[in-house]
Amino acid sequence: MTAEYVSPWMNDELEALRDSATRFFTKEAVPAMPKWSEQRHVDREFWLAAGKMGLLCPTVPEEFGGAGGNILHQIAITEAQSRTVEKGWGNNVHSGVVTDYILNYGTREQCERWLPAMVEGRIIGAIAMTESGAGSDVRAMKCRARRDGDEYVIDGAKTFITNGLTADLVIVAVKTEGAEDPKAITLIAVEAGTPGFERGQPLRKIGQHAADTAELFFDSCRVPVSNRIGDEGAGFPALMTQMPQERLILGVNAVVQTEKAVALTLEYVKERKVFGKPLFAMQNTRFVLAECQTMAKAARLFLDHCIVAHSNGVLDNTTAAMAKWWLSDIQCKVLDECVQLWGGYGYMEEYAIARMYADSRVQKVYGGANEIMKEIIARSL
């Protein structure tokens, strides 16, 4: 039996946070998953309960109502969620993405106005970049904003937006009319209830059914200039600066799901009888799981390397791209092998392994398609 591996970034405080989050998710989220999957979004009451537990926006400084933690606290919470609950709750976007845009590029007034409520779960955050013709190619977006006095007037649409149905605050990426660079992107925060801002019905996906994913529409939507995040035209550099963290969080989910798939399958094949023997007695089963366990271990080691690098401020775009494509690829490969060992039961939605399999496929698409990740890596060679 190999010795239990402990990540080098883990310490007693983070382990306690992860354990506390795991207990909370097990008690409050797991029983509610069928309901959330049916209605296609997580109840707002759960967001508020998570806020009371200190599981939202842990990187927000105390002066803005947060715990004053760092990215490792967010990763510990992400690990707990991924180990316990199927992908659905959009906290990684709310806490791991939107929060940092406001902290790093917003004004003090914006931080004071939005962050305390985000920490408490009273405001749910989303970021809207993707359009029907602009996914990985962010610069191809057509959503526009024109300056009209002290307001921006936004026209366009966004799709596949996490937390889109329930978000109270959406950071929208637009191109500003009249800008010197026609490809320059500006980030503008649009608040729920703003005239001209509408949402479509929750999108029906093959997996991640509890995830609130929607289309957003902007028709002469007037937003105060004071809602702009950062300088006009400075959105693309901000997006590129924040992408390594977003891709790292996707990698965390990928590795935890890979490890969980191996553990669930190992337990199953030791109990399942085939030709009068446990399925694990078959050499092919043992060899397949040996390969899966090796891939899971290698993925964990690479992930931990990236986590340590990011916590020290040195995770570069190329390495983050490597992590995003390779870890999600390993996740899908291992889940495919594990589902095969479950036989017909692996195709039944009532089993966690089947839901994990369906949930995993989009990991190779969002956050930048894996083909784009390879292009990023190739350009660095």
Catalytic residues: 246
Distances in Å between the Cα of 26 and the Cα atoms of 19, 22, 36, 282 are 10, 6, 15, 34
* 169-176/185-191 β-pairing: antiparallel
For the chain, what's the residue count? 381
CA 171 to centroid of chain Cα atoms: 15
> Cα–Cα distance between 51 and 264 in angstroms, integer?
30
* C-alpha dihedral sign at 309, 313, 314, 320: positive
38 to each of 31, 42, 82, 201, 317, how far by Cα in Å? 13, 10, 20, 13, 37
Cα 305 off chain centre by: 19
CA dihedral 9→12→17→22, nearest 10 degrees, is: 90
Alpha-carbon distance of 289 to 79, in angstroms, equals 22
* CA–CA distance, 269 with 281 (Å, rounded to integer): 9
The candidate with the shortest Cα–Cα distance to 74, out of 51, 102, 95, is 95
Strands 213-224 and 197-199: antiparallel
- 145 in Cβ contact with 153 (< 8 Å): yes
Distance (Å, whole) CA 14 – CA 308? 14
Sign of the C-alpha dihedral computed for residues 363, 250, 237 and 156 taken in this order: positive
The DSSP call for residue 183 is T
Alpha helices in 29-146 (DSSP H): 33-39, 44-52, 71-84, 91-93, 99-105, 108-120
